[in-house]
Amino acid sequence: MDDGCGPQNNCRLTDRDATLYDQGSPYGTTPTMTHSTTRIDRRFAELKNAGRPGLVTFVMAGDPDFETAREIVLGLPKAGADLIEIGMPFSDPMADGPAIQAAGLRALKAGQTMKKTLQLVRDFRATDAETPIVLMGYYNPIYVFPVAAFLDEAKAAGVDGLIVVDCPPEADDELCLPAQQKGLNFIRLAAPTTDAKRLPTVLKNTSGFLYYVSITGITGSAAPDPQKVHAQVAAIRKATALPVAVGFGVRTPQQAKAIGQSADAVVVGSALVSAIQASLTPDGKATTRTVPAVLGLVNDLGQAFRGA
């Protein structure tokens, strides 16, 4: 049965969607930020014009060490990344699978701090003024920074958006609304368990894009079912004109291409941090294979998208 968003149809952001996005959604889900002003907004508009999904890459700041992570991040756009998520290492993650948990622990062991994560963004911005950067992680490291100083420094460093998985909509006053007041997109997650009653609450102050979690469970724990994803993305589009990025469990170019038939972007993270891990010495140090392993996989993923 055709759900209207299968591989035979192009269900990415349309001209009509973009008009709704600029003028205000009839569903009352358009965020309070001024649109068409952020790098994230511009990048999704460019992808729409190109008629293809975007590749969102996730790597952990400071994994396996600051300099290697810096070299990886600086190389991602040329390799094919359209947007970049940088993980903020935290000792007690709740949504991360084993690969990303291990990446965070490697980074912390190597001395990564929030200050260094923001420095990584500043270093990237010195070479790239266009590729959007989203910081992803948990509230605790932001809270202890504390919040106001973090938002000021993140904006000054060149961060474009935040994904903070343990900040629910009911706590928007804590971080979401202050972040948007600083001009940062606040990106929320929806999951297969997000029903029609809950979705409007999730969307209320979301901006930039909606991150759809394609599986129930932690990152990298299972492969998504493309047909189920297409149906869920179609349902989400009835409630918002925001771009929809799909992640959790996407590891190969073939999977990414299948998911990209309906998504505006596809997020790949566990596969990249696993490539880092596989390239390290037994004691967790970078080798000459580390950077090429990650950038090579990103190149393969990017080539698949450009053929989608």
Which residues are marked as active site? 85, 96
The structure tokens listed for 265 are 């972007």
Cα angle 203-207-208, degrees, rounded to a multiple of 5:
130
The span from the CA of 171 to the CA of 173, in Å, is 5
How far apart are the C-alpha atoms of 176 and 181, rounded to whole Å? Answer: 9
Signed CA dihedral, 272, 120, 189, 16: sign only: negative
CB 60 within 8 A of CB 69: yes
Q: Are 242 and 44 in contact (CB under 8 A)?
A: no
Strands across the sheet containing 54-60:
185-186, 161-164, 133-137, 83-87, 54-60, 265-268, 244-247, 210-213, 189-190
